[in-house]
Amino acid sequence: MSDVNSRENTSALFREAMSRLGAAVTVLTTDGPAGKHGMTASAVCSVTDSPPTLLVCVNTTNRSHDLFVKNGTLCVNVLSGAHRDLSGHFARPSDHDRFATGDWTQGVTGAPVLQDAAVAFDCQITDQKSVGTHSVFFCEVQHIAIGQPQAEGLIWFGRDFHHLRAAC
């Protein structure tokens, strides 16, 4: 087993270790005065259910970052196994129309909501902390849209997508 034994080795070792922590694949979306945009992310987790709040981490160099900050909203669209291609579509760095793929509506905050997402958490960003290269957004859930039961979830693990079968 590897240990963190030098400062220069720490970042690479940490990234390798984190590749072994499976996470749900999501598309984060926003719309408002700064414009409409979205990105693929897996750094999302629950904070509390009172009030319902999520923690979302976004690299400050990602072009979506400033749009989330300026709009003050985001929707966490949790993807199912059928959304693998959509995930890649939102991960591309080009200026293509990300919303040309998928069936989108507008959430209560104005953020785009994927109609067939496993679940969509439409949120107001209530706090932001800077930690190294990322901003940690605390997102208070304004509306939850639970999709139809999915045959599979989509997980990012070992630097690749994996389908997670629902319990029978």
pLDDT of residue 162: 77
pLDDT of residue 167: 67
pLDDT of residue 164: 78
Beta bridge partner(s), residue 74: 123
pLDDT of residue 63: 86
pLDDT of residue 116: 93
Do residues 11 and 144 touch, judged by C-beta distance below 8 A?
no
Give ∠ CA 146-65-136 in degrees, rounded to 5.
Answer: 70
Closest-CA residue to 69 (of 138, 166, 148): 138
Ordered per-residue pLDDT tens for the chain, 168 residues? 545 555 557 878 777 776 676 778 899 999 999 999 999 999 999 999 999 999 999 999 988 899 999 999 999 999 998 898 999 889 887 767 889 889 999 999 999 999 999 999 999 999 999 998 899 999 999 999 998 876 688 878 677 777 777 765
Beta bridge partner(s), residue 143: 122
User: Domains in the chain and their CATH numbers?
Assistant: 24-165 (2.30.110.10)
> What amino acid is encoded at 132 in this protein?
G
pLDDT of residue 158: 77
pLDDT of residue 117: 94
pLDDT of residue 7: 55
Where in the chain does DSSP place strands (E)? 23-24, 26-30, 37-41, 44-49, 52-59, 73-78, 104-106, 112-114, 119-131, 134-146, 152-157, 160-165
For the chain, give me the number of helices (H) and strands (E)?
A: 3, 12
- Measured torsion, CA atoms of residues 105, 65, 67, 86, in degrees rounded to the nearest 10: -30
pLDDT of residue 147: 86
pLDDT of residue 95: 66
Helix (H, G, I), strand (E, B) or coil at 79: coil
